[in-house]
Structure 1
Amino acid sequence: MSNRLAAARRERGWTQARLIHALREAARIHNRELPSSASLKRRIAAWENQDKGISEQYAELLGEVYGKTPFELGLIVETPAPVIELEAIPTFTRLDDGLVGLLHDQTHTIRLMDRRLGGDAIFRQTRAHVDQIESLLRHAMPGAHRESAADALSQAAALAGWQALDNGRLDEAWQLHETAVSAARESGVAAELGYARAQQAYVLIDAGEHAAAHQLIGAARAEAASSVPQALAAWLLAAEGEALAHLGDRDGALRVLDAAADVMPDTPDDDLPYVMLDAGHLARWRGNCLARLERVS
């Protein structure tokens, strides 16, 4: 069944720019991030030409801005409600401290292997680990153990997303970070959410969307505020400095890098195994930013 998105836009008399504006307004209400306008224009053209499938997120937003159901837009085929057989009832996962601890331990083991072997060597293992936690969480009973498992998923997905980014798989990196952000929101751990959102900005940097990357890191820092440990606060500031360096903002980059040095603790934070940052790391980070500023000036 072909979608009717082009017809819906004609009915409204909207340009692509007007549709993009409406999508951003709807996304803002739902606290969702959308890619650049250029990227959205390409997506809209592909959707209306029937060249590209539409994710559930975009189907919801399009239905909202057009005031139509996904069925009315031709995005889904209306089918009778399925009859649930007894065998189709899922087996729920009963999580406990031991199982959640094993998930965290496995993530940390993969993290250590990543530092020794590189993400390319173990990406498939990391991805399988993410899929396993996601499957467990999908059928987990409500409660504190589910939130702890969501924390484990956020850390694992952020690690896999970074490995995918290292391998040039931008789309997969973005999707894995979306999983990390969603899991962090369920876990309620502010540090995980701030880290996942800011790290996701590096996908935008690699895609050349430097202004959007800076905006995303800034939003992550603002949301984290003072509720995250000093080590992560320093990391977030340094990440913003790198985004500003890509934008050619020398004064802004150096200002936040100085702020990162000011708040960085003297000793590593054992509760943040995913944050590798000490005085040496920060000095090299600053050097990379200065080199970037020289290239863009």
Structure 2
Amino acid sequence: MPFAVGKGVAASPVSLPPAEADLAARLAAAEALDASLVSLLEAQTQSFRTLDRQLGAARLLQQTEAHIGQMADLWRYALPGPHRTALAAALAEGAALAGWQALDLGDPGKAWALHETAKAAARDSEDPSIVAHVTAQQAYALLDLDRPASAVALIQHARRTADGKVPGQLRSWLWAAEAEALAAAGAATEAQTALDNASEVLAAHGKDDSLPFLFLDEVHLARWRGHCLARLGKAAAVQELTDAVNQLDPTFTRAAAGLRVDLAQAYSVRGQHEEARTEARAAEVLATRASSERQRRRIAKLLRSGMEPSGR
């Protein structure tokens, strides 16, 4: 005879098999998703971004991965709607940040995988700016594997797909990233054209507050331009990079390390080996402070090319 639940008598909870209970719990957690929660998660990503540029990836990657794991779990079980779309955008940028951190720690395989997560979430967000950013940034794993032609193709795909759909600051960033890949491929004329396009677009549009994941202004673009010129062995790189050194926000520790490596390379090409050694030593200090394996490898490669620092 079935048990009748009388008035004021609570029904016994239904016991679900473990797999069903787990799914029910995850769906229930995702139901708590709202605009304020997404904002909190985005703010946490921004705090990791700020800490990363000063302290380096070694101290933060594990935390960033845990953060994106939490967002990914909510995203996978959230029902369609504006909150899921907003969370997808937050996850995409968080995963791209973790991917960049993995790359800086010398793990291009993990960086590639994290950017695949970022791209999947970006597509779900339906935000062309985020899709373009995380796709183009993935190309840096290809550059670190010495596959510049593939990197050029990936960035050009991102830029062309985004054409007419994204803010000017991002278009400038995409041109600058393409210039870097072209310089790595030795395509000097094409790289210069891409740099000119980046400068022209940035001058016309400037900073866009809707793109918190982009650090691009005239100083950062000068740093980028100097990197490309140094890679191509151009004498003008020294002045570009020196100006950027003097103007760069000192909180960008890892960026400053990369800039000093570029300057060391530029001086070495000009035969100014003492100045090159000075910059290499400064780069080593900054790379150590930021725990940047990527910049350490660049320094080691530069030293192997024949520019041995004095006293070693």
Segments of 5+ residues of structure 1 without an aligned counterpart are 1-82
Check if 1:249 corresponds to 2:187: yes
Separation in 2 of the partners of 1:211 and 1:156?
A: 27
Deviation digits for residues 20-51 of structure 1, max 9, x if unmatched?
A: xxxxxxxxxxxxxxxxxxxxxxxxxxxxxxxx
Task: Give the corresponding residue for 1:271.
Answer: 210
State the structure with bigger RCO (CA 8 A, min sep 6), 1 or 2: 2
* Aligned mates of 1:120, 1:253 — CA distance in 2: 32
- Structure 2 runs not aligned, ≥5 long: 1-16, 234-264, 270-312
- The residue that corresponds to 1:90 in the other structure is 24
Matches within 5 A, 1:96-175: 96-175=34-113
For 1:293, the aligned partner's letter is L
CA contact (8 A) 1:96 1:145 kept: yes
> Residues 262 and 150 (structure 1 numbering): CA distance in 2 closer, same or farther, change over 3 Å?
same
1:289 to 228, 238, 241: 228
Q: Could you tell me whether the CA contact under 8 Å between 1:151 and 1:184 is conserved in 2?
A: yes
RMSD, aligned CA: 1.7
TM-score, length basis structure 1 = 0.69
| SS of the residue 1:90 aligns to | helix
Q: Hey, what does 2:306 align to over in structure 1?
A: none
Cα distance per residue 1:64-119 (max 9 Å; x no partner): xxxxxxxxxxxxxxxxxxx9864354331111111111111111111111122112
Contact 1:90 1:139 in 2 (8 A): no
- After the TM superposition, list the runs of 4 or more consecutive aligned residues in structure 1 that deviate by more than 4 angstroms: 83-86
Q: 1:176 aligns with which of 110, 114, 124?
A: 114
Q: Is the 8 A contact 2:175 2:195 kept in 1?
A: yes
1:237 has 2:193 as partner:
no
CA contact 1:119–1:166 (8 Å) conserved in 2: yes
Match of 1:207 in 2: 145
- Give the TM-score normalised by structure 2: 0.66
State which drifts further: 265-274 or 138-147: 265-274
Map of 2:133 onto structure 1: 195
Compare CA radii of gyration and give the structure with the larger one.
2
Aligned partner of residue 123 in structure 2, secondary structure: helix
CA 1:228–1:170: 2 relative to 1, 3 Å: same
Distance 1:142 1:247, change over 3 A: same
> Equivalent residue for 2:293?
none
